[in-house]
Amino acid sequence: MMQSKNEMKLSFDARSVNEGFARVAVAAFITELNPTLDEVADVKTAVSEAVTNAIIHGYDDPCEKVELVCRIEGNQVEIAVTDTGKGIPDVAKAMEPFYTTKPELERSGMGFAFIEAFMDEVQVTSEVDRGTRVWMRKRIGAQEG
């Protein structure tokens, strides 16, 4: 039985080019759990959604920072994506599929739905003008039973 324990923290500018960086960094970090390709893709998609939300909705200034913490504990991976930006006035509403505050940017409103679909557990905490934290967890190896 694997008993890994490992943690890393990234802090990066709220620039769209870092969306790819963040998901690739997390994918590399979790390789020690021997995830399937599908599990890696699920985690990458979820990270991409959370980081994109922080960049688009959290901040106007791309010099502001997005923080990502990734922790491995046993066969679980936990990821927290945090911004100190605008915050979400109504988290429940924001998590409804197809809800978006930026239809002009052709945001699909599917971001949180994707995170929920691809991770086992998701928690979103937010405070207006203080920022937003998206915490998510997935068990790796679940597909093999």
Buried-state track 16-36, b at ≥16 Cβ within 10 A, e below 16: eebbeebbebbbebbeebebe
Provide, rounded to whole angstroms, the least separation between the CB of residue 56 and other proteins: 7
Angle at 130 between CA 113 and CA 62, to 5 degrees: 75
Binding-site member from 6, 11, 16, 34 for other proteins (CB under 8 A): 16
Stretch near other proteins under the rule CB under 8 A, chosen from 11-19, 60-68, 74-82, 124-132:
11-19
User: Do the Cβ atoms of 124 and 91 come closer than 8 Å?
Assistant: yes
Residue 18 annotated to the active site: no
Cα dist from 16 to 4, 33, 54, 114, whole Å:
32, 28, 10, 19
What 3-state class would DSSP assign to 129? coil
Concatenate the DSSP letters of all residues of 52-68 into one string: HHIIIII-S-TTSEEEE
Can residue 89 be called a binding residue for other proteins (CB under 8 A)? no
Residue 39 is a binding residue for other proteins (CB under 8 A) = no
Q: Does residue 44 bind other proteins (CB under 8 A)?
A: yes
Q: Does 108 bind other proteins (CB under 8 A)?
A: yes
Check if 49 is active-site. Answer: yes
116 is catalytic: no
Catalytic: which of 71, 107, 137, 139? Answer: 107
* Residues catalogued as catalytic: 49, 53, 107
Residues that bind other proteins in the complex, under the rule CB under 8 A: 16-17, 19-20, 23, 38, 41, 44-45, 48-49, 52, 55-56, 105-111, 113-114, 117-118
